[in-house]
Every structure is written in structure tokens, then in C-alpha cells.
């Protein structure tokens, strides 16, 4: 199928933002208290496009990598409450706008990726651990029920915050509790009930950072668990553009339907804005074919939403988080 092309459209919202320097497309950092430990890093104009899966977008005014939970808690306690704060995992479900992200972006390093097997067929995982790694450790321990994490291309922290799901299951089905560092630096353990999970949503407060999650499984045969994980991996490889620069599933599935089906029915498969394209392989994935700006990616998504609305009357909701300011 040949791709149709439309011109980029202006996006809604203001241009620039607090501390932005449009001439250089950089943010002018405001003064910030360093991390107390001296082991973490506080980086001005920290590049986000180096790890965001779309490989597009502007920098963080400050990119902060705390060494441990105490480091993060002390940093947030000292941080001016007026400064915006955004936790980011591996950027697999994120569009960072081209003007960058004002304030502080928290990225948890590998020290937050520890995984431990606990009694009662439970797995405790740091927020920086990848879903596939958690599923693998559970398999090796004979813990079933976490296989679907093999199909979630992100970290435990992001999965717990957004109630990520795949292949008929979601985090709400297995989460017992999550440890949060709140915006004021306090550390709290929230049971699953307090997180008030719904479809791709939780009650995690704005600015809070999920640092750990406890998952509950059931006894299972490692060979059978591994076979299910292999099935999920093969299905993803066959149906999703895993080797492209993408942000994963773009829109939430509306009740009783699939976003990809509505997008396909509206004639959007292969649609392009600049170097951004609706995947030919899976219509609910947007891809950066090479050199796409975040504005092109977001404009394409809005065009898809408009065409689906006109064709079927359904208003698709973004699943990908869009952050920052326009260039």
C-alpha cells in the first residue's frame, strides 16, 4: 500500500516555555540544588532524544539521575515546589516536544533495577527494571502470571504508573503494592487499592516517582511459562514494528473495539507527515522513518484522530504521553 502524505499542521498550545531559548532550541536552566550523595548526576540541558524511543525531541532543562531512594527523597525535599518534575523511564511511551522539557526530568539509573524473589510467589522489582527482565526472573523461579510483562517494552515504574497491559492482562492484575517518593520527598508504600487502577491510569500523584513494585504470581512450570513468553515474543515480532523508532501503542483501545482497526478503516495506514509515518505493519504505531521531529509525530497523531473521528465517530485518546514545549 502506498503511503499518502500530508503537510505538517500547527499544533495547539503556546510556543516556548519557562526558561526556553528559542534561538538555540535549548532551555536556560534555573539554579538547582545538587544531589546530596555526590554519586548521582544533575545535568543541565540533558539530552532526552538519546534514549527516547522515537529518538526525537528537545532536552530536559535538568536531567537528574539519583543514586538511590534516599538520594531522590532528599533531592525532592529540597526542590522548589514551583519547579515542574517529570519521571521518565526508557521513553518507550513518550513524545518529547522539540522545545524540550522545562524543570526537572528524573531518570532512575541501573541501581533502581534490582529484582528479588520473595515468599508467596512474589517478585519485588525496582522501577528501572525492564518488564522482560522481571518476567524472566519470575519464569526462572517458577512463578506464573507475569508472562505478559514480556510484551511491555518499558520499565516497572512506568508500567506501575500507567497500569500497562498486554495480551489480556495488566499490572492491576498482579500488583500488590508500590513504593513512591512523593513530590515533597516523603517515601510511602501504597497498596494496589490506593492506586485506584483503571484502563491505562492510576492515582499516582503528579510529580511522584515510583521506585519499586511488588508483584504477586502463582506457582508454575518454568518450561510452560517460558513457552508462553516465547509465544508473546513471536506474536509481537510478527505484528509490531519492533525494529523501528516508535513509541509503542499510540492510542487507547476504545470500549469494545481496537484502535488499530479504526485507524485502518479510516485509511490511515502508511499516512505520513514529514518523516513520521503510521506503521504499515501495525496501524496503532507511529514511527520515525528517519529525522522526524516530535512536531511531525504529534501532528500525524492528531491527523489520525481527526480522520478516525470523521470516519467512525470515535474519538481516540492518546496512550502515548506527550510532554514539554514546542520549538
In angstroms, the CA 184 to CA 147 distance is 35
Q: pTM for the whole thing?
A: 0.86
β-bridge partners, 169? 166
Q: Are residues 219 and 121 in the same domain?
A: yes
What angle do the packed helices 222-239 and 131-140 form, to 10 degrees?
150
Query: Which pLDDT score, from 0 to 100, does residue 36 have?
Result: 58
Q: Long-range contacts for 189-196 (Cβ within 8 Å, ≥24 apart)?
A: 195/160, 195/163
Query: Which pLDDT score, from 0 to 100, does residue 33 have?
Result: 62
Concerning whether 279 is annotated as a catalytic residue, the answer is no
Query: Which pLDDT score, from 0 to 100, does residue 40 have?
Result: 87
Please answer whether residues 35 and 10 qualify as being in contact, where contact means their C-beta atoms are separated by less than 8 angstroms.
Answer: no
Q: Are residues 186 and 275 in the same domain?
A: no
Q: What is the side-by-side order of every strand in the sheet holding 60-65?
A: 41-46, 60-65, 101-107, 85-88
Q: Are residues 121 and 213 in the same domain?
A: yes
Instruction: Using DSSP bridges, classify how beta strands 5-6 and 272-273 pair: parallel, antiparallel or unpaired.
Output: parallel
In angstroms, the CA 99 to CA 24 distance is 10
Concerning whether 124 is annotated as a catalytic residue, the answer is no
DSSP state of 63: E
Q: Are residues 23 and 61 in the same domain?
A: yes
Does residue 166 sit within a domain?
yes
In angstroms, the CA 131 to CA 154 distance is 6
Q: Are residues 166 and 197 in the same domain?
A: yes
Q: Which three cell numbers stand for residue 302?
A: 492528531
The dihedral sign for the CA sequence 94, 200, 298, 20: negative
Compute CA distances 252 → 16, 51, 292, 314, whole Å.
Answer: 28, 24, 23, 12
Q: Are residues 306 and 264 in the same domain?
A: yes
Does residue 4 sit within a domain?
no
Instruction: Using DSSP bridges, classify how beta strands 175-181 and 187-191 pair: parallel, antiparallel or unpaired.
Output: antiparallel
Q: How many domains does the chain have?
A: 3
Does residue 32 sit within a domain?
yes
Query: Which pLDDT score, from 0 to 100, does residue 27 have?
Result: 55
Q: Which three cell numbers stand for residue 49?
A: 532524544
CATH number of the domain encompassing residue 51 = 3.30.43.10
Please answer whether residues 239 and 282 qualify as being in contact, where contact means their C-beta atoms are separated by less than 8 angstroms.
Answer: yes
Does residue 246 sit within a domain?
yes
Residue with cell 518507550: 92
What is the Cα gyration radius of the chain? 20
Does residue 3 sit within a domain?
no
Query: Which pLDDT score, from 0 to 100, does residue 39 have?
Result: 78
Does residue 248 sit within a domain?
yes
Last residue of a domain, one of 194, 224, 254: 224
In angstroms, the CA 302 to CA 126 distance is 35
Q: Are residues 118 and 183 in the same domain?
A: yes
B/e letters for 49-79, b = 16+ CB within 10 Å, e = fewer, are beebbbbbbbbbbbbbbbbebebbbbbbeeb
Which of 147, 170, 319, 326 is catalytic? The answer is 319
Q: Which three cell numbers stand for residue 206?
A: 503528579
CATH number of the domain encompassing residue 248 = 3.90.78.10
Q: In which domain, by residue range, is 296 found?
A: 242-323
pLDDT along the chain (327 residues), means of 10: 35 34 48 67 94 96 95 92 93 95 96 97 98 98 98 94 94 98 97 96 96 98 98 94 92 96 98 98 97 98 98 97 95
Q: Are residues 214 and 280 in the same domain?
A: no
Concerning whether 319 is annotated as a catalytic residue, the answer is yes
Q: Are residues 106 and 120 in the same domain?
A: no
CATH number of the domain encompassing residue 184 = 3.30.465.10
Nearest in space to 293 (alpha carbons), one of 25, 80, 3: 25
β-bridge partners, 189? 179
DSSP state of 36: S
Last residue of a domain, one of 110, 144, 175: 110
Nearest in space to 250 (alpha carbons), one of 178, 183, 317: 317
Does residue 128 sit within a domain?
yes
Which of 92, 249, 279, 294 is catalytic? The answer is 249
Last residue of a domain, one of 92, 110, 128: 110
Map residue 188 onto helix, strand or coil. Answer: strand
Backbone angles phi, psi at 224, to 5 degrees: -70, -40
Does residue 233 sit within a domain?
no
Which of 200, 245, 269, 307 is catalytic? The answer is 200
Q: Are residues 104 and 118 in the same domain?
A: no
DSSP state of 177: E
Q: Are residues 60 and 127 in the same domain?
A: no
Amino acid at each position: 500500500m502506498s503511503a499518502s502524505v500530508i503537510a505538517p499542521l500547527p499544533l495547539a498550545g503556546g510556543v516556548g516555555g519557562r526558561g526556553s531559548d528559542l534561538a538555540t532550541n535549548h532551555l536556560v536552566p534555573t539554579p538547582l540544588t545538587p544531589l546530596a550523595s555526590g554519586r548521582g548526576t544533575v545535568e543541565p540541558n540533558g539530552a532526552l532524544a538519546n534514549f527516547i524511543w522515537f529518538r526525537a525531541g528537545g532536552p530536559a532543562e535538568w536531567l537528574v539521575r539519583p543514586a538511590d531512594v534516599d538520594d531522590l527523597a532528599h533531592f525532592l525535599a529540597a526542590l522548589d515546589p514551583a519547579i515542574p518534575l517529570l519521571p521518565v523511564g526508557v521513553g518507550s511511551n513518550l513524545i518529547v516536544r522539540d522545545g524540550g522539557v522545562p524543570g526537572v526530568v528524573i531518570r532512575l539509573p541501573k541501581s533502581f533495577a534490582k529484582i528479588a524473589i520473595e515468599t508467596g510467589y512474589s517478585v519485588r522489582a525496582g522501577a528501572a527494571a525492564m518488564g522482560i527482565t522481571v518476567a524472566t526472573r519470575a519464569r526462572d523461579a517458577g512463578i506464573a502470571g507475569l508472562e505478559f510483562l514480556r510484551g511491555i517494552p518499558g520499565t516497572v515504574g512506568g508500567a506501575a504508573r500507567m497500569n500497562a497491559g498486554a495480551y489480556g492482562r495488566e499490572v492491576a492484575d498482579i500488583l500488590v503494592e508500590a513504593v513512591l517518593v512523593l513530590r515533597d520527598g516523603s517515601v510511602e508504600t501504597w497498596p494496589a487499592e490506593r492506586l485506584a487502577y483503571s484502563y491505562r491510569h492510576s492515582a499516582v500523584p503528579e510529580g511522584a516517582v515510583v521506585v519499586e513494585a511488588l508483584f504477586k504470581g502463582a506457582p508454575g512450570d518454568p518450561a510452560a511459562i517460558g513457552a508462553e513468553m516465547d509465544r508473546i515474543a513471536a506474536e509481537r515480532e510478527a505484528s509490531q514494528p519492533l525494529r523501528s523508532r516508535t513509541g509503542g501503542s499510540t492510542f487507547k483501545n476504545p470500549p469494545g473495539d481496537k484502535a488499530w482497526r479504526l485507524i485502518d478503516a479510516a485509511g490511515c495506514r502508511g499516512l505520513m507527515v514529514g518523516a513520521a509515518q503510521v506503521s504499515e505493519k501495525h496501524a496503532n504505531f507511529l514511527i520515525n522513518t528517519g529525522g522526524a521531529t516530535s512536531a511531525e509525530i504529534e501532528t500525524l497523531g492528531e491527523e489520525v484522530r481527526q480522520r478516525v473521528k470523521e470516519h467512525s465517530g470515535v474519538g481516540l485518546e492518546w496512550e502515548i504521553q506527550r510532554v514539554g514545549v514546542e520549538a
